[in-house]
Amino acid sequence: MLRKLPGDYTRDIVSTAPDSLVFRPTVVKTPAVFTIAVISFRATVGLFRMVWRHPLACLAVLAPIALGALCGWRVALVAVVATVSAPAGWRLAEPVSFTAWIGLRLRAWWRWMWNYRRHWQPVMAVSGLAKHIGGREYLPRLLKVTCTPTADVVAVKMLSGQSVTDWQDRTDNLAHGFTGYECRVVSAKPGRVTLVFPRRDVLASPIPALPITGDVQVSAVPVGVREDGSAYLLKLHGTHVLVAGATGAGKGSWLWSAIRGLLPAQHAGLVEIWALDPKLMELSYGRALFGDRYAADPGACADLLEAAVKVMQERAGRFAGVQRNHTPTVDDPFILVVVDEVAFLTAYQTDRKCRERITAALATLTTQGRAVGVGVLAALQDPRKEILSIRNLFPDKIALRLDEPAQVDLVLGDGARDRGALADQISPNPATGAGIGYVRLEASPEPVRVRAAYVSDSDIRAMVAEYAGTGEAR
């Protein structure tokens, strides 16, 4: 669509009053030579820009024409057939490399031309991201479209004065306008945003338990798959992680995937896993993996947490003035305290003294533990502050399926849902939604969509058969 020029809106005003005054702007006719010069300049710049942005597409069109003019149509036809046959053979022989080098680029060009460029002006205008000033329409600039195997990534230059929040508030408009089922806005750099439009959901199907490779990993362990299809490593050493989700959201998948990833390191003596299981339904199935560091009774849970605090304080005394960061060793292993349904211990516990002991111990561990190699991985259903007062002491948070939109920001922080963390829209069907969550790390405010692998009962039995006894105190 052409831009409106000054005076166009005034020209279109119609009054039915016979004696009304009609104001028209003064029209100055530009000499034809200047008009031709401007049009020629714009056409030349546009041509160079098209060649610069799409060299392969331009070459594919111009090369056969030039070859036919110079060498005849037969030579051009043979060259075209050979050129088409070579990529087809490449596609059949090496589909992965063909997709990476050719397929995704062709898809990006097609999506840019047919979907985004064609609909850019109306979508920007209807969604309110275009501005009209002085009779002119100003549009954000579509910079580049890149395709990954699972999503379209659109780089945009915002209008001067716009903020990332303006775009985050219109993700639904953008998703429907560009025929996507979802849109997420990522702040790229000052003045620019990146729009991510997933084309297909890699996380729609359950992920089987990841294989135990035997590699000793402590700082971060593989727990599942990201939305782009790559493996996701959950950082455990040097942080604390809170997993929040409604009943049946898949919290157990995150807990067991983390435990599963740490088993080789526990076998090597570099990790100790301490388990608190007040429900007696989740961690008890693999109780033999934790040795004598397992508790279910509230009193025993308080004792185990206070024992972890003592270890933490003893290490802090030895490390003071000597080292600032913890390195896992056999003498000072990384201790991961896993708490299933922490709200039962901190809010629903009827014994006030026991509840206060547990809350105090957890607060101490989450404020002082990560520097000396003591981490907490806790899961809960209700993310309200009155249920878990120390919620903000967990640097890294994971929001699984939640009941209300407001709960998303309670877990991940203000504005997380506007940035695309739609945890309240995750399917309640276990086959399609269990284990899916949005991860927000301390170092990045942008939520990442991940699905944790499902560790079945048979997987846990196999883990117990191979690694039982390695968690005993040395």
Q: Distances from the Cα of 388 to the Cαs of 308, 347, 363, 418, in angstroms? A: 20, 7, 10, 24
Residue 247 marked ligand-binding: yes
Nearest to 402 by CA among 244, 182, 243: 244
Residue 220 marked ligand-binding: no
Residue 165 marked ligand-binding: no
CA dist 98 and 178 (Å) reads: 27
For 111, phi then psi, to 5°, come to -65, -35
Residue found by looking up tokens 């201790």 in the block? 335
Give rounded-to-5 percent helix, strand, coil for the chain.
45, 20, 35
Nearest to 129 by CA among 175, 178, 163: 163
The three-class DSSP label of residue 24 is coil
Residue 252 marked ligand-binding: yes
The three-class DSSP label of residue 454 is strand
Neighbours of 56 (CB within 10 A): 11
Q: Which residues are within 8 A (CB) of 215 and not within 5 positions of it... i.e. 6 or more apart?
A: 264
Q: Distances from the Cα of 287 to the Cαs of 242, 253, 293, 319, in angstroms? A: 22, 16, 9, 32
CA dist 209 and 224 (Å) reads: 8
Q: Which residues are within 8 A (CB) of 450 and not within 5 positions of it... i.e. 6 or more apart?
A: 203, 223, 224, 225, 226, 227, 232, 398, 436, 437, 438, 439
Residue 435 marked ligand-binding: no
Is 285 in contact with 460 (CB distance < 8 Å)?
yes
Residue 251 marked ligand-binding: yes
For 344, phi then psi, to 5°, come to -65, -30
How many C-alpha atoms does 332 have within 13 Å on its Cβ side?
18
Q: Which residues are within 8 A (CB) of 325 and not within 5 positions of it... i.e. 6 or more apart?
A: 238, 371
Nearest to 192 by CA among 156, 145, 168, 146: 156
* Residue ranges of the binding site: 245-252
* Residue ranges of the binding site for ATP: 245-252
